[in-house]
Amino acid sequence: MFDTAINFLRAIRIHPAGWPFILLFAIAAAAAGFALKPLGYAGALLTAWCAYFFRDPERATPTRDGLIVSAADGVVQTVDQAAPPQELAMGAGARWRVAVFMNVFDVHVNRIPADGTVAALRYRPGRFVNASLDKASEGNERQGLRLTMADGRDLGVVQIAGLIARRIVCNVVEGQAVKAGQRFGMIRFGSRVDVYLPAGVEPLVAVGQRAIGGETVLADVRAQEPARNAEVRA
């Protein structure tokens, strides 16, 4: 069992923020196994799950100008119009917002949606209610990022803490030039990321669709089609 867990760790790419947690799980598993062998097996499985949570796979990001890709892995929870958080100074007008919910089995590394420059970073403390609830966008702890694209348009990315998430990591700084698909942070352990599209840009995803961070195209500034609907079909 321990050999299997070690081989699993060797086979996947791990985000650096995960190693302290994996080490703690591994030490606890070893101690439990020393006391009672079956507990060691359970601990090895939990250690493997912790490594799985902090996995950081490579992604193939589409590079055409004007494409906006998902900032997170998970299910598209809402596609609606809402005003961006006031602290990002993006105006009070409503624009399309795509919210992607990450459960504890999704990749939690977050990625930049489009080429541009980080114009603003704003952190706001708050509550830790279930991130799948609409009120989470307003009341939960969050880290906001305003990105100015090459054509001057701006978009917002908001990392929102969830019910058991207690740590938002954001590794970019104001004024930094960034590329679509570039890693910029993560949220521990299960949460959501909202992307506020540039004014006048329609989303190309629908509620219930699974998004892949850095790969799934949320919108195209050149597209002329209206917002999409979707349905589950047999």
Domain boundaries 67-220, corresponding CATH code: 2.70.70
**What confidence score (pLDDT) does residue 113 get?**
97
Mean pLDDT of 129-142: 62
> How many whole angstroms separate alpha carbon 121 and alpha carbon 139?
18
| pLDDT per position as a tens digit, 77-122 | 999 999 999 999 999 899 999 999 988 888 889 999 999 999 999 9
**Cα dihedral value 85, 91, 97, 101, nearest 10:** -20
Continuous segment of H or E residues that includes residue 53:
helix 37-53
Q: Which of 70, 132, 137, 191 is catalytic?
A: 191
| pLDDT per position as a tens digit, 18-48 | 778 888 878 888 888 777 777 878 888 888 8
Q: Which residue matches tokens 């002329």?
A: 224
The string of DSSP codes covering 199-218 is TTPPB---TT-EE-TTTSEE
- Reference 194, options 39, 74, 71; nearest CA is 71
User: What's the pTM?
Assistant: 0.84
| For the chain, domain boundaries | 2-53, 67-220
**Structure-block tokens of residue 223:** 């597209």
pLDDT bucket at 70, cuts 50 / 70 / 90:
very high
| Angle between helix 2-11 and 19-35 (nearest 10) | 170
Q: Are 112 and 179 contacting, i.e. CB atoms less than 8 angstroms apart?
A: yes
Q: Does the active-site annotation cover 132? A: no
| pLDDT per position as a tens digit, 188-228 | 776 889 999 999 999 999 999 999 999 999 999 998 888 77
For residue 126, pLDDT beyond 80:
no
